[in-house]
Amino acid sequence: KQEVTQIPAALSVPEGENLVLNCSFTDSAIYNLQWFRQDPGKGLTSLLLIQSSQREQTSGRLNASLDKSSGRSTLYIAASQPGDSATYLCAVIYGGATNKLIFGTGTLLAVQP
Amino acid sequence: DTEVTQTPKHLVMGMTNKKSLKCEQHMGHRAMYWYKQKAKKPPELMFVYSYEKLSINESVPSRFSPECPNSSLLNLHLHALQPEDSALYLCASSRGETQYFGPGTRLLVL
């Protein structure tokens, strides 16, 4: 069964800290992996997409890495801000005719001012 | 226009009611999706439409009936729902691999 797990489930850090969120997937034959952000009661915002052939992607203060062989991805957030507080979800796609996303369990991040 | 819109934002319905959720995008995306998200859980895929044809149905009960009238519009018709169907219903669309999500409809079934 294809499962995606995220650790930790919740994280609280003071403003300005650098932090790492972890995502692991049981089936390493992924097509690509996406990181999303979700604010409470809202939809999802796509942050980064990493193709299976790539090792990392960067956008501003965010850096996502992918180690397909070990079934892991990390999202690094530099110089965290209170506005970064949200739930972060990773999702994998295993290819095929349509983009079926399998979501991880999520990490709830709170950045304290 | 780079967004997916969903209406209504909130919906309360009884178990005998019939209602519909609406999703719209004008980005020219030819794949559209319905997801269900329970509190503190990740979204779960319900349906996928590709070029206005249903391509994936994740064994969703028939009380949920999707419809794709045209390439910009996706509906989810609801009938005889159960209280456990209360959730956030998310719509998404994609052209390539990145999916763009709407804000969701918060549904409460009494």
Q: What pLDDT score does B33 carry? A: 95
A97 pLDDT above the threshold of 60: no
Give CA–CA dist A35/A47, Å, rounded: 5
Query: For residue range A31-58, what is the model confidence (pLDDT) as tens digits?
Result: 899 999 999 888 899 999 999 899 999 9
- State the residue for tokens 């507080």: A85
Give CA–CA dist A30/A52, Å, rounded: 6
Q: What pLDDT score does A98 carry? A: 61
Q: Which of B29, B34, B54, B99 to probe the A interface (max A CBs under 10 A)?
A: B99
Q: How confident is the model at residue B1 (pLDDT cuts 50, 70, 90)?
A: low
Q: Which of A99, A100, A105, A107 to probe the B interface (max B CBs under 10 A)?
A: A99
Interacting residues of B56 by C-beta distance below 8 A, sequence separation 6+: A98, A100, B45, B47, B48
In this structure, what DSSP letter does residue A94 have?
-
Task: Tell whether A45 is within 8 A of chain B (Cβ).
Answer: yes
Q: Which one has a higher pLDDT value, B25 or B58? A: B25
The tokens of B72 are what?
């910009």
What is the mean pLDDT of the segment spanning B27-37? 94
Query: For residue range B51-107, what is the model confidence (pLDDT) as tens digits?
Result: 999 988 888 999 999 999 999 999 999 999 999 999 999 999 998 878 899 999 999
Q: What residues in A contact B90, CB-CB < 8 Å?
A: 43-44
